[in-house]
A and B are shown apart, each in its own frame.
Chain A
Amino acid sequence: MKKILALLLAAMMVFALCACGGSDSSSPAGDLDAVKAAGKLVVGITDFEPMDYQNADGEWVGFDADLAALFAESLGVDVEFIEIDWDNKILELNNKSIDCIWNGMTLTDEVTAAASCSKPYMRNAQVIVIPAADADQYADVESMSGLTFAVEAGSAGEAAVAELGYTATPVSTQANALMEVAADTSDAAVIDLLMAYAMTGEGTGYADLTYTFSLNEEEYGVAFRQGSDLTDALNSYFAAAYADGTMDSLAETYGLAGSVIAQ
């Protein structure tokens, strides 16, 4: 009986947490002023090369990190990067422990419903990763219908595999999905193109894996609190940074040429 009560209590607490997470308890319309008053823009990130990662000096660099720093500069404030648990990104945003999520974030329905998102600024795709040795066995996506696919739970890749009606094994991260293929516990994985680019092939941890077909196109955006006036500020900044070539040159620096979306 006690156990049941405890479970009930725990469930209630979680429910309260989620319910409150969706509602806004203060006014995000003043976010721009608040950031200016604080003198810094707090950016929630994960370690995600080439978007956000640490260089040898321990400074955060990458396409997103550099662009975020430039945006902060345009507002006249400092930038601060905080590593977060990706599962809790919306919680962190609403908790005000970060001002935005800027980390190669795919604009999914879930994200756009829970946060105020910028215009898309970069294209990405979900690609199929398989052992390089098997690559020439497959002519197209249909030829892979008999395989089991490791996918990140809740990711765009999972949705894509589900749409095809193929067998999927959800795992907790994209990295785990890759590990499944390397360990031969799954036949293939579906992950971000950018990640596949950084983590498979010669000179990487998964030299024996390669990526093949892409399943769907998707776009990256930046998320702010719902109703935040920072979203408009960033959209105007994007327009300016695209017009003067800043975004293209950053893309060049990080090997992402051709992915930037016109603003």
Chain B
Amino acid sequence: MAILEVNNIRKTFDKTEVLRGISFSLEKGSALSIIGSSGSGKTTLLRCLNFLERPDEGTISVNGELLFDVADPTTQRESEIRKKRLHFGLVFQSFNLFPQYTALENVMLAKELLAKEQPDYKSRKKEVHAQIEAQARALLADMDLSGRVDHYPHQLSGGQQQRVAIARALALQPDILCFDEPTSALDPELTREVLRVIRGLADQHTTMVIVTHEMSFARDVSDQVIFMDDGSIVEQGTPDAVFNCPTQERTKRFLESFSQ
């Protein structure tokens, strides 16, 4: 069964239809890349999945559980949306690390706040804290940042900041990890180190949705590719199918503009 099912998502901003009925599904452990020119609606789609935007129409299900349904207001309560968000992790284009916290604290903060809501937190405070810290250190080590745990964001390069942001998203063990153009703000050299980390996650079969402009990366890393244009899915399939033998004229034109 698919871990993520998105059905007929529509979204309009000020009379402009940004998403015109998006449907797709994603298998557990697979990586989906969404490509398309700017303004095609891919970022808005990602924001809908993370409940940063509220779709005007459609449903979102994870693991067979209906998380969001426009027709059912009980799925839209603020208190529950908070928990539902935890199914997803989101890595932003501009990192959005918290500047007043170190790399380690950035990774630990949300998890600690969640732990505090547990009824037995007070009695197990130290133990829980040690656990969270150990996990955070391990994640940062995975990101090749062992030597940077006590650095503040402004002391880190863009690539390092983005890797901290990935560790921060992973700390909450989301079912699906989303990337919103994770390397667009980075130099080519720094881009490579971030892509290497994402590739590593794909190798470990992390379920991922990646909005990206890195075509060769999308081709290498994903199990499935969606090409979006003007708020609709124009073409989807395996990387091989979409990149090597696109069936739609619009896809061809888009890919050509990149190969030049």
Are A and B in contact, CB atoms below 8 Å, in the complex? no
Chain B residues within 8 Å of A, Cβ to Cβ: none
